[in-house]
Amino acid sequence: MIVVNKADGDLIQAAQLSAAQCKSALSLMRPKTQDWTAEVLTASSLQAKGMAEIWERIGAHRKIFEKSGRLKELRAAQAKAWLWRELEEGLTAAFRAQPEIAEKLRKFERAVGSGKMAPTVAARVLLSLFSGSDERF
């Protein structure tokens, strides 16, 4: 859902134009799911106009996604993404914390930046050093 705020006073026409442009842009896009097509609403938080409709549409969206099972799927995918982000951040921190790697990393970054070393070669050497193996990833 897209909500164009400031639909009050002298800005009503500008907000309506913005909403129409958003609707036009959305019409060119394929909906992410068959269950729901994004909507464009206007509102004025200053005058509390459109707020009830926004909450009603949010509730309708949630009910549709809960009923279809899509909400559960999205939450599961989100949890997996968080897991991987935590792993990546933890591994990167552990990687950079090793003095030998930190030293080589600076050198390799310069070599890669100047074109003297391929990024894949640098990464493989550093990963081998990090894992303590002679394997080439």
67 shares its domain with 111: no
pTM tops 0.95: no
Scanning the chain, the segments in alpha helix (DSSP H) are 12-27, 51-68, 70-97, 99-114, 119-131
CB atoms within 10 A of CB 37: 12
- Residue 52, domain extent: 2-71
83 inside domain = no
105 shares its domain with 59: no
77 inside domain = no
82 inside domain = no
pLDDT tops 90 at residue 133: no
Tens of pLDDT along 37-85? 999 999 999 999 999 999 999 999 999 999 999 999 999 999 999 999 9
DSSP lists the bridge partners of residue 41 as: 3
**Which tokens in the block code for residue 16?**
């309506």
Instruction: Please give the pLDDT value at position 69.
Output: 94
Domain count, the chain: 2
SS3 at position 49: strand
63 shares its domain with 15: yes
Burial 77-103 (b: 16+ CB within 10 A, else e): eeeeeeeeeeeeeeeeeeeeeeeebee
84 inside domain = no
| Mean pLDDT, all residues of the chain | 94
pLDDT tops 60 at residue 137: no
pLDDT band for position 35 (50/70/90)?
A: confident
10 shares its domain with 65: yes
Instruction: Please give the pLDDT value at position 68.
Output: 94
Instruction: Please give the pLDDT value at position 136.
Output: 52
pLDDT tops 70 at residue 134: no
What mean pLDDT do residues 93-112 have? 94
What mean pLDDT do residues 99-123 have? 96
**Which tokens in the block code for residue 77?**
């995918």
